[in-house]
Amino acid sequence: MLEKLLWEITQHPSRGAEFKADPERYLLAYPLDADEIDMVTRLDVRGLIARDVNPMLTMRLWSLMKGRDQMPEYLKQLHPDAKK
């Protein structure tokens, strides 16, 4: 369900805008547990990937919510222990 959700949000601009405007409300339409809702709303990319969500979908969600200029932060989220 998580991959389907992220696919729909990132592939359909109107859905992405709706999600971005009010993530909690948007997620009510999906049968997600509390942990999944938390991961999506916090953009917990490591948590999502640990649940077998495709990293490309997490990257697209990050880009939608934070902007492409924040991709270094996305990579830092994936590899918090990496040296600079």
Over the stretch 52-68, which tens digit does the pLDDT of each residue have? Answer: 999 999 999 999 999 88
Q: For residue 75, which of 50, 53, 58 has the smallest C-alpha distance?
A: 58
Domain boundary assignment for the chain: 2-78
pLDDT band at 30 (very low <50, low <70, confident <90, very high): very high
At 1-14, the pLDDT tens digits run 999 999 999 999 99
- Give pairs for 65-68: CB < 8 Å, separation 24+: 65/20
For 83, residues 6+ apart whose C-beta sits below 8 A from its C-beta are none
